[in-house]
A = this chain, B = another copy of it.
Amino acid sequence: MFKFSFIETTTDRARLGRIETPHGVVETPAFIFCATKAAMKSVTADQMREAETQIILSNTYHLMLQPGADVVAHHGGLQKFTGWRRPMLTDSGGFQIFSLGHGSIANEIKGRQHGYRQKTLLRISEEGARFKSYIDGSTWMLTPEESIRIQCKLGADMIVVLDECTPFHVEKSYTKESMEMSHRWAKRCLVTFDELNEQKTQRLYGIIQGGVFEDLRDQSCDFVNTHPFFGHAIGGSLGASKEQMYDVVNYTASKLDRARPIHLLGIGGIRDIFNGVRAGIDTFDCVHPTRLARHGGALVKPGHMDTGKREHLNLRNQQFQKDNNPIEPDCECSTCRQYTRGYLHHLLKAQEMVVFTLISIHNIFFMNRLLKDIRSALKTGTLDAAEKKWITPNE
């Protein structure tokens, strides 16, 4: 039921792949959209499919607390419960536990601010992570075994091991010890996964830690390469700048077993994706396209930008009030085929929720077309030309 196959391209380490799952095929490079609580924010499953989406992910942390893994299992698993019915991935729950624990892990592992052990994260130990529910303050314990048990009940095609999301602003010694504990947790995940995955309906991804330290990344790559994971996900801190992120991703991806699909966790800027693809990344995920939509931001190609500096239009701006154009005149999404920037601007001003649906549909379609264009360009060896179409060169 599962298979990963790929062909090499002439562009750096970029490759064209296929991840076959019981719920369908994912053509790679691909973007994975976040349906955090078993729902895309403001977008229905029909609209996701119409926007040419291949795969979505849900978050174990949110679903274990509400409605609980047993309820999802009662409803036949995530693909059926959500009405999506196509390939899905779940994360381990760790990211949110550490995120809510540290304040904002997204800021923290990207090195943008200091974080402290506080708030809802109560204790990390060899056993697992103890935390308070963001819903009712009740105390929970997430162990590697429990994360796998929950993910098996949720039933996504691809699931991932529990790891500690190591902060950026810590000593190398902490990063090393944290990585080593994550490796021990990963082994425990493999044991539990082997017990539970009798039907072979799911596959497990290992996670590479090691922060910005090449020797640690080497060790972590060795670890995942030599354990029976279906795929690998690059996690941990990727540094404090875009340049450092590209270096860490490029270095790490170069050390990974190419027989397995490689996922880059939480990265989804357009420029980041081109860099990732060249480094050999197969799949990306990020909340950016849908979160941006909820702030009135519509992704656009360079020719349609208002300032030439951002990858999106802020449709709240008064300049769009009488704009008769769609977000992008050359876009074939259902929003661009039917609505003007002026109408979307009005809906934002009028606080009509449907505007988040309409902009999200565009942003989702935009990302899917970006990845489709990248796949086409890789076939013909024209990734440089494609990149010029999607990114302003002088940023």
Contact = CB atoms under 8 A, between A and B. Distances in A.
Interface of A: 37-46, 62, 66-67, 71, 74-75, 81-83, 321-322, 324, 334, 338-340, 342-343, 345-347, 349-350, 352-358
B322 A74 contact: yes
B346 A38 contact: yes
Nearest to A65: B350
A346 B38 CA distance: 9
Contacts of A66: 346, 349-350
A77 B275 CA distance: 45
Given A39-B352, A66-B349, A350-B39, A343 B44 contact: no
Contacts of A339: 83
Contacts of A338: 45-46, 83
A343 B41 contact: no
A314 B329 CA distance: 43
Contact of A346 (B46, B71, B321, B345): B71
A75 B37 contact: no
Nearest to A343: B81
Given A37-B350, A41-B353, A44-B357, 17 more contacts: A38-B347, A38-B350, A39-B350, A39-B352, A40-B354, A41-B352, A41-B354, A42-B353, A42-B354, A46-B334, A71-B321, A71-B342, A74-B322, A75-B340, A83-B338, A83-B339, A353-B353
The residue in A40, A350, A357 that gathers the most chain B C-beta atoms within 10 A of its C-beta is A350
Contact of A62 (B81, B83, B321, B350): B350
Nearest to A82: B343
A146 B289 CA distance: 43
A44 B358 contact: yes
A373 B57 CA distance: 41
A67 B321 contact: yes
Nearest to A70: B322
A221 B334 CA distance: 46
Contacts of A81: 340, 342-343, 346
Nearest to A75: B342
A41 B352 CA distance: 6
The residue in A37, A42, A82, A346 that gathers the most chain B C-beta atoms within 10 A of its C-beta is A346
A37 to B, nearest CB: 4
